[in-house]
Amino acid sequence: MLTENLALLFERDILKLKVEINAYRNETTLWINANGINNSGGNLCLHLLGNLQYYIGSVLGHSGYVRNRPEEFSQKNIPVIEMNKTIDQTIGIITNAIRTIPAGILENDYPEKVLENTMTIEYFLLHLLAHLNYHLGQINYHRRLLDV
């Protein structure tokens, strides 16, 4: 039951990411860093997609995704239509991976050491959901502040 609820929450919140990215009136604003803002909305979106596709899709779901974290913050001017495709693909990869996790292993250690800590799969999935929402809020603020 927990895996199904997590899959639904990740799907809901990744769809919110798509809504936020598409809410920018000016697509170029998506990539602006200004007024002490270190990361653009576009780069935060790429970061979230890479993070989820790696930690859930690849490590837990064995998707084969290879992450390039520095590129998540250095790429610029990717068309929104292309980002939408990646968001849609990510939803499928993530929800499928979560739904196929046997309930009995949620208390097992996550297969990789992350953030210098050992943690359970269940804990790390909750952490990733919180991380998604933290950056989702930053993207929302970035858009409202700069896309005027």
Mean pLDDT of the chain: 95
pLDDT of 45 higher than 90: yes
Q: No. of H helices and E strands in the chain? A: 5, 0
Q: Which of 138, 43, 62 minimizes the C-alpha distance to 100?
A: 62
Mean pLDDT of 131-135: 98
pLDDT attached to residue 91: 98
Q: Please name the residues in contact with 59: beta carbons below 8 A apart, sequence gap of 6 or more.
A: 110, 111, 112
Q: Supply the CATH number for residue 57's domain.
A: 1.20.120.450
Tally of structural domains, the chain = 1
Task: Quote the percentage of the chain above a pLDDT of 90.
Answer: 90
The pLDDT assigned to 37 comes to 84
Domain span including residue 120: 2-146
Query: In terms of pTM, does the model score above 0.85?
Result: yes
Is residue 117 scored above 90 in pLDDT?
A: no
